[in-house]
Structure 1
Amino acid sequence: MKEAFKFQFIFRVMRISLCQFLLVGLWALGTAKATDGQAQALLSKKVTVDIQEQGIENVLGNLEKQVNGKFVYSAKMIGSDRKVSVKAAQKPLYKVLDETLKPLGLHYRVTDNLIIISRSDKSAGGPATSIRSREAGYTVSGKITDVSGETLSGVTVILSHNNLGVVTDINGTYSFSDIPDGTYTLNVTSIGFTAIKKEIQVAGQDVQLNIEMKDDILQLQEIVVTGGNPKKKIESSVAITTINNKDIQTRAPLNSTDLLKAIPGLTVESTGGDGPGNVWVRGFPQQGGYIFLGIMEDGLPVLPTGFNSIPSVDQYYKTDLTIKNIEAVRGGNASIVMANTPGAVINNLSYTGADKTYGKFKATTGLSQGLYRLDGNVGGKVSDQIRYNIGGFFRTDKGIVPPGYTANQGGQLKGNMTFNFKNQKGFVRVYGKYLNDKVQWMLTSFYPYDGTGKPTKTDNFDMVTQSLATVDTKFSYTDANGVTRNYDFADGIHTKQGAGGFQFNYLLDNGWEVNNNFRYQHTNRTVTAGIPASIITYNGSTPYYYLDGSEAGLKAGDRIVNVTGIGQQGKDVQIVDYLDFKKSISNHNVGFGVGIHQFNRNDGPNYNFSYQQEFKENPKRLLTSPTGAKITATNLATVIGDTRTLSAYASDEITLNPKWRLDLGARIDNQNVDGKRPFYAFKADGTPDYTKGAGLTIAGYTDYSETITNWAATAGLNYKINNEAALFARATRAYNAPTIADYNATAYDPAKIKKRPVYLGEVGVKYAKNDFSLFASASYSAIKNVSLSITVPTISSGNQVLVAFGSTRTYSAEFEASYKLTKALSLRWTGTLQDSKYTDYTANTNTNSAIMAILGDTTYSFTGKRTERVPVFNTELSATYDYKKFNIYLAGNYIGSRFTSPSDSYKLPAYVLMKGGAGYNFTKAINARFWVDNLLNARVLTEGDVRGDQFRNFAAVEKGTMMPGRTILPRSFWLSLSYEF
């Protein structure tokens, strides 16, 4: 009955969308003659400009920012280095264009929102014009299409004879007349496609040459909006990776973290399933999470950068059909875009409506784990001034490694509506999101250690395919005040979030563009999970019982797992507002802004528990007596505090000449943290004892208010050799700021909260021509006094944390390249080569009495060791094959060897992870896709014993000793059916 209801619901949604599409189609037929009116409206827009003796390209760039249109031209064809002076105040665009272009022998025409500039018949240039007019000539013409055969309008075509240039019309055609006999070069360029150069021979007859343009996979000619003024990637002095919607669908990521594997410079672990992932950026040290990587949604941070697994930013946003494309700014400029983000910024950009109604629905099933998912997204316009987009997803999933209950369930709904001002100078956009999603956090399990770093099997358990999650999911705890709290492991990480905001964008009469982006976000989250901490061998003498009182029937030699249970609840409220101002002044694109990010967090009470369970798939919990405690609380923690970050930032992009662009940026962030730090004992003199490990009773709280100011500055230089190639260099001083987790630590030591500067230098090259594209960079980075934590399991006090600080330096090289082997076959190769080592890192056990009781008063030094879990080399090679209605995708990901901890004591071997997919287009609207993850079913550890192996001598560990670890997910199969209009 439920399944029938689901399909009826899907059919009804699709039927409504089809009706809507038909109605819009009828409306479009009735307004088809409005093109001329739209062109007139575009040309009638009033602009303000004051430029003296600057290149014509700068003038066009200035005008472009003031109108909802795009200039299409060839810099060579128009002579972009010719100097002009233009001064106008609130004058119609067509008058400014007439006064500026006609004296240069240029004319323009409008197609949709494209203003196409070309040479007039009289502007071939001096004597060459008279030669061309008196020579008998022929016609060179043809049609430009993409690989699917669709015609392309607005493509710039340059003929080397007198540098003649035209732009293709709505039918994709171009034509040159009166061309004399000879050998010429035809240059073809268009945004989104790689440039093409063709040699042609005119010999006594007309030449007909049709050209097929190929997608620019690296999108070097695309406009990037993240981090400063919008500009093409090839003109930017920043390492940028873009992932469009087509790429997302082809890659079919299992979760938001998995998608980041497409970005060089990042080392990604998504083996937590849909639970928290880990991302390392350019070798910076961390124990997990997103410490140096900032995540944005439509230009605003989703969560302040700097947190480990809880809270984890990948639970605050989800990748679905509402995402149009993703921009990843790597390296120095990221520190100017977002506070406390020295590594990289990932900006997820949503669809925002269009003149034509569009939509897509997709149903997905996980053939390996009982997953059912429905995605949808639709958009269009309500009127000439109003655009909309709405979409989201819902899924239920038993899990690739089933825990014995529904692993993942929930979804989100997102929407936005844009109101364009009638004077076409700006817009107001309102948006909202509701997220209600629970996921399984796949944690460590156990395997027999044999020194190979691979997850070997035991007699009755395989950690790769079987789960240690207990099927006895429910439990409760009554604290000393008589308050009873109920928990359920099946609830996993459950995030409920509501967010809403607006964006205001307006172009003032004086040429300043004002943009204000605001969001309010409220999140409730619970984390209920069991972390296997240790394993023992049953001696056969003491009986064990299940929760119902029945005897477990264990035999001597069976194994029993000691588990640390987590029962955490928390909430946070975030208010984010960025106010930006931008203007083109002469050859400067200046911008400045201010922002506030208020992050109010109240987590608690957060308990750790201990219990025992069987060592087998879907085990039951065990008791030492029929009436024994079903679970034991071990310690209690809270995080209570408010973080307020005030920011000011400025940038200037200076076009020194058509080839050289200088990019300057600076940012200052003032962070204030007000909170309550718990402590668990008093000293004899009545003062708080901060060395006492966490217990079940919080003795008191220390109120604190900490303020710290940090700054970042960067300078980049880009040399555009031509439209196909460029070089860039950048130097940056950034920072890593403490988070509330640092200030809230029980063993807080104010002397160790030091300045944490980050230094980065990088050089790079960009190239795209014909069938080949390349974006490569080399960099140096160093960070000082970064906060590090070592988790140490204890029997009596659960997991305890040893707080330490360290410094590192990294040399790295990153690249992404694409090559079109044939019309149908494309290759993409990305990779990161890095050497990351600690330059100063020591840890003292005397900062935590529970740990010191086990290990003694000891200082450990990791200076000179490699950064843990960061491979020297990782790379991905993927191939896409398109043939008629078929699409095939295959990718191989190589991850080099890593050490599990900074002691460099346990090395995990390199591995290769394969994935692939195949799609078939039944029609232009209906597509089916099948794909497989971990195609070769590789068995690989991604974590060894990260909780304590810093202090273990593995040379003394006997083979067969049970060791904790975590693996990549086993092979899984997926199938989807989508409908798009």
Structure 2
Amino acid sequence: MSKHFLLIAAAPLALIAPAAAATEAPLATDSAPAATEAAESKEPEREVFTTGVAKGRDPLDSATSTSVLKAGEIEKLGARSLAEVLRNIPGIRTESSTGEGNSNYTIRGLPLASGGSKYMQLEEDGLPVLEFGDIFNVASDIFIRYDYNIGQIEAIRGGSASTFVSNSPGGVINLISKTGETEGGSIGFTTGLGYDSNRLDFAYGMKLSDTLRMHIGGFYRVGEGPRDVGFTAYKGGQLKFNVTKDFAGGYVRLHGKWLDDRSPQYVTVPVKITGTTADPEFSSFANFDVRRDSMLSSNITSLVTLDASNSPAAYSTSEGMHAKVKAIGLESQFDLAGWTITERFRYSAISGSTLRNQIFSLFSGASLPAAAGGAGGTLSYANGPNAGQVIANPAALNGNGIVGNMLLIRIDARSLDNINNDLRASRVWNVGGGKLTTTVGVYKSLQTIDTTWLYTNTYQDALGGGQSSLLNAANAAGTPLTQDGYVAFDLNVGGIPGQYRRTFDVDYNVTAPYGSVNFHVGPVAIGGSIRYDIGKVRGRLFGSDLGGGRAPRVPYDFNNDGVISDAEARTAALPLSRPAPVNYDYDYVSYSTGVNWRVSEPLAVFVRYSKGARAGADKILFTPSVSTVDGNLVEPDAAYDTVTQLEGGFKYRGANATLNVTGFLADTTDRNIQGGTGLEILRDYRAYGAEVEASYRTGPFSVTGGLTYTSAEIRSDSRNAAISGNTPRHQPDFIYTLTPQFDSKKVTVGFNLFGTTSSYAQDTNGLKMPGFAVVNAFLQFRPIERVQLMLNANNLFDTVGFYDIAQDAVPANGVGWGRAINGRTVSTSLRFDF
């Protein structure tokens, strides 16, 4: 990999010399600095969009569906995570209940069978954070943060995203950093009112000379966070910088990033489900609030198991989602012989881990002794303030009688290192009274996936305030069935020893040449683009569930008492002497073509047809799609899934109002592992609908909003024909946002409303999760120039909402589990601009 790195690194360095000698006129609206600094400047600017297109241009002159979120507006949203920011973009559906990262993202009804963002790429300054946005348990959003460094967020849905970015047939979201065009800085402190959260942000930009500028910024935070977990769950920060040298006709920029931040992953919690399947009711159990509590606890401090080398290890549960990134990059743009050359390069050393406490099943009441310890068995506290005490009446435990059969899981990401390079050249030709823009480019990516899954199985009660404890079980004879709350030091569900104890050590080498043409004459622009992705996948896998014989359990005396307990006997090791190879190649072609008609200065209409694809990455490993004997594909088309899209609509931009409406139709194939079930799926989907984005301003009053209607269908399922024709789980008919506000010199006040209609809990279309609407209110007060006080309430009305319910019918005992949105949190901040 080092050889490839040196070759790629040489490309941007080689461009510096001719760039410095360029003497042609400065770039127009297609330059990256112009797009970046638009968010920093307070002066009116020509609107330019640069993400996922050949050259930056006015959106009304492009047959694409795009959105921009400016930093000043994002600040008011009261978002507690990046996913909560991005849900304000029409067409984007986010399941933002997991905390800072590992949220689920999709676009225009494209399938969301598993976690992360399979069909949509998250970028930072024009390059992907990870080549694949849905890597098992370590999605892209874990390794990116929104802070004062960001000038604006650009999003493109459908369209040319298929051909200008690899593995992004649905769309691209790009976080664009400030680059010091506007001198000055900001420092701000935010603290929670009624919950433990403290964060310091800063940013500063300056001109070092007439042609040299820089920007630096970052944040640091610490606190328990919006849910009661009983320990400091958020801790860490980020530092980013860039230095830009401008010259006649272009620029060259060096940029870097250091991120070391940990945050909790909120997963499933116990949910009381009553009523009927047609009309269910969801609520909290006694002493456990679905809005504020978590199965994380101050009494559960370690995950004990064998590590990737089969040595004993104890991992701190406070690690949560721990992101470590060290990145360095170089960006350059200049004119050469009539061509505009753009070069972007970044090397990111990425590592970290995720640790979560996930419900596998729940026991209730008097059934506990029979289910956990056999008839006449007992339960007792394994840790916490009541350690050793026998639970005389499990049915009354904590007032709810709930005990969880838990999966305490650590995913160790030793390396997710990523190298990206995108080199393109564009030229505008005068042809037939119009402008013909031609672009050619090549993209190169090297992505490592070196991770290990470490599953353990525990028993735990359900008590809020971060005070739940592990439980021990014994049979009627008093023989312990657990040890220190552990049922097994591996995954002990389904009767398969060692299931999901895996190591991935695989490298993905992607090369993608691409090109486009666009002819703009009068009010009409006609264009097309094509991309050819070539992938080489090499590596090895270790796992007891690869087939060909399972690794035997390896009893280990974790507590060093000289006795192997029943739980210690249930310890699995990785079969390190039996790796399975990964050795396959793939290639696919993406294309897109569209027509845009600028009917008048404020109005344009467009239509576009696109076909793109997304490589399967780690979701097809450990499945029958890849041979465990030679590492080749068993089915030639298993390496990627395709998306075809037809879209069309209009865009209006007046002096005080904007209105963008786009209709879409998408057909998708999806070979995946369904989140929460572990089931392999192979499906065809269809989705159609429309997205609306609008804004209006009159005097100090303004309102912005978005609405997306989606009708989605599982057209076929090769593994389960019974669900063909059903609506995909979690897919609502409508999602919507609305942000009205009043803005004066001293005060800004308003709210951000996000809502979703009901959706099915599972693909079998039984139980429905109710729709919900969340209001985030904000008040900004500027007593003097350059000083701002802000009060923000997230989920002002303490709404209960669910993104996931595990059941497909009302359980007979009323006990279910799912992922709920966070309850009301109020914060205040003080910001100084200088």
Contact persistence 1:280–1:290 (CA under 8 A): yes
Query: What's the counterpart of residue 777 of structure 2?
Result: 916
Classify 1:816/1:681 alpha carbon distance in 2 versus 1 (closer, same or farther; 3 Å). closer
Give distance in 1, aligned partners of 2:473 and 2:265.
28
Classify 1:453/1:410 alpha carbon distance in 2 versus 1 (closer, same or farther; 3 Å). farther
Q: What displacement does 1:480 show? A: 11
Q: Which one of 750, 753, 757 corresponds to residue 892 of structure 1?
A: 753
Query: What's the counterpart of residue 469 of structure 2?
Result: 620
Contact persistence 1:833–1:874 (CA under 8 A): yes
Please, which moves more after superposition, 356-365 or 831-840?
356-365
Classify 1:574/1:747 alpha carbon distance in 2 versus 1 (closer, same or farther; 3 Å). same
Give distance in 1, aligned partners of 2:770 and 2:328.
46
Counterpart amino acid of 2:685? T
Q: Which one of 448, 458, 461 corresponds to residue 600 of structure 1?
A: 448
Q: Secondary structure at the match of 1:449?
A: strand
Counterpart amino acid of 2:664? S
Q: What displacement does 1:427 show? A: 2.1
Matched, 1:547 2:394: no
Contact persistence 2:200–2:220 (CA under 8 A): yes
Q: Secondary structure at the match of 1:249?
A: helix
Counterpart amino acid of 2:687? T
Classify 1:598/1:479 alpha carbon distance in 2 versus 1 (closer, same or farther; 3 Å). closer
Q: What displacement does 1:444 show? A: 0.4
Please, which moves more after superposition, 465-474 or 537-546?
537-546
Residues 194-209 of structure 1: matches in 2 within 5 Å?
none
Residues 254-333 of structure 1: matches in 2 within 5 Å?
254-286=80-112, 287-307=114-134, 310-333=137-160
Counterpart amino acid of 2:429? I
Q: Secondary structure at the match of 1:259?
A: helix
Matched, 1:812 2:692: no
Residues 327-726 of structure 1: matches in 2 within 5 Å?
327-354=154-181, 357-421=183-247, 424-451=248-275, 452-471=279-298, 472-478=300-306, 483-508=311-336, 510-536=337-363, 537=365, 538-539=368-369, 541-547=377-383, 550-557=388-395, 558=397, 559-570=402-413, 571-586=415-430, 587-604=435-452, 606-617=453-464, 618-624=467-473, 629-630=483-484, 631=486, 632-634=488-490, 635=498, 636-655=501-520, 657-680=521-544, 696-698=573-575, 700-726=578-604
Contact persistence 2:135–2:618 (CA under 8 A): no
Matched, 1:929 2:757: no
Q: Secondary structure at the match of 1:262?
A: coil
Please, which moves more after superposition, 464-473 or 638-647?
464-473
Q: Specify every segment of 5 or more residues in structure 1 that has no aligned partner in the other structure, as ranges.
A: 1-44, 49-61, 71-112, 115-147, 153-189, 193-220, 793-800, 844-858
Measured on the aligned residues, the alpha-carbon RMSD in Å equals 2.9
Give distance in 1, aligned partners of 2:281 and 2:794.
19
Give distance in 2, aligned partners of 1:579 and 1:962.
55
Contact persistence 1:654–1:663 (CA under 8 A): yes
Q: Secondary structure at the match of 2:73?
A: helix
Query: What's the counterpart of residue 901 of structure 1?
Result: 762
Give the aligned length. 741
Give distance in 2, aligned partners of 1:253 and 1:709.
39
Q: Secondary structure at the match of 1:624?
A: strand
Contact persistence 2:29–2:48 (CA under 8 A): no
Query: What's the counterpart of residue 203 of structure 1?
Result: none
Q: What displacement does 1:454 show? A: 4.4
Give distance in 1, aligned partners of 2:196 and 2:29.
50
Give distance in 1, aligned partners of 2:307 and 2:742.
61
Counterpart amino acid of 1:780? L
Classify 1:308/1:552 alpha carbon distance in 2 versus 1 (closer, same or farther; 3 Å). farther
Q: What displacement does 1:466 show? A: 2.1
Counterpart amino acid of 1:332? G
Q: What displacement does 1:696 show? A: 4.0
Give distance in 1, aligned partners of 2:109 and 2:59.
25
Query: What's the counterpart of residue 242 of structure 1?
Result: 68
Counterpart amino acid of 2:605? L
Q: Secondary structure at the match of 1:490?
A: helix
Classify 1:944/1:65 alpha carbon distance in 2 versus 1 (closer, same or farther; 3 Å). closer
Matched, 1:784 2:669: yes
Counterpart amino acid of 2:351? N
Classify 1:745/1:366 alpha carbon distance in 2 versus 1 (closer, same or farther; 3 Å). farther
Give distance in 1, aligned partners of 2:761 and 2:172.
26
Contact persistence 1:669–1:711 (CA under 8 A): yes
Contact persistence 2:617–2:639 (CA under 8 A): no
Classify 1:556/1:347 alpha carbon distance in 2 versus 1 (closer, same or farther; 3 Å). closer
Classify 1:311/1:746 alpha carbon distance in 2 versus 1 (closer, same or farther; 3 Å). farther
Matched, 1:824 2:672: no
Query: What's the counterpart of residue 24 of structure 1?
Result: none
Q: What displacement does 1:504 show? A: 2.2
Q: What displacement does 1:744 show? A: 4.1
Contact persistence 1:760–1:780 (CA under 8 A): yes
Query: What's the counterpart of residue 734 of structure 2?
Result: 873
Q: What displacement does 1:597 show? A: 0.6
Deviations 1:841-897 (Å, cap 9, x if unpaired)? 142xxxxxxxxxxxxxxx553110001111111111210111331101212222011
Q: What displacement does 1:478 show? A: 4.4
Q: What displacement does 1:707 show? A: 0.7
Give distance in 1, aligned partners of 2:768 and 2:581.
43
Contact persistence 1:453–1:941 (CA under 8 A): no
Counterpart amino acid of 1:676? R
Counterpart amino acid of 1:307? D
Give distance in 1, aligned partners of 2:778 and 2:29.
41
Q: Which one of 692, 701, 709 corresponds to residue 833 of structure 1?
A: 709
Give distance in 2, aligned partners of 1:68 and 1:260.
22
Query: What's the counterpart of residue 557 of structure 2?
Result: none
Q: What displacement does 1:681 show? A: 7.0
Contact persistence 1:332–1:734 (CA under 8 A): no
Give distance in 2, aligned partners of 1:552 and 1:747.
49
Q: Secondary structure at the match of 1:455?
A: strand
Q: What displacement does 1:612 show? A: 0.9
Deviations 1:171-207 (Å, cap 9, x if unpaired)? xxxxxxxxxxxxxxxxxxx646xxxxxxxxxxxxxxx
Give distance in 2, aligned partners of 1:564 and 1:468.
11
Classify 1:726/1:616 alpha carbon distance in 2 versus 1 (closer, same or farther; 3 Å). same
Deviations 1:341-389 (Å, cap 9, x if unpaired)? 11110111111112x5211111111113211101111011111221100
- Percent identity of paired positions between Structure 1 and Structure 2: 23
Contact persistence 1:527–1:569 (CA under 8 A): yes
Q: Secondary structure at the match of 1:429?
A: strand
Matched, 1:771 2:663: no
Deviations 1:395-446 (Å, cap 9, x if unpaired)? 112111120111211110000001224xx13222111100000010011011
Contact persistence 1:733–1:760 (CA under 8 A): yes
Structure with the bigger RCO (C-alpha within 8 Å, sep 6+) is 2
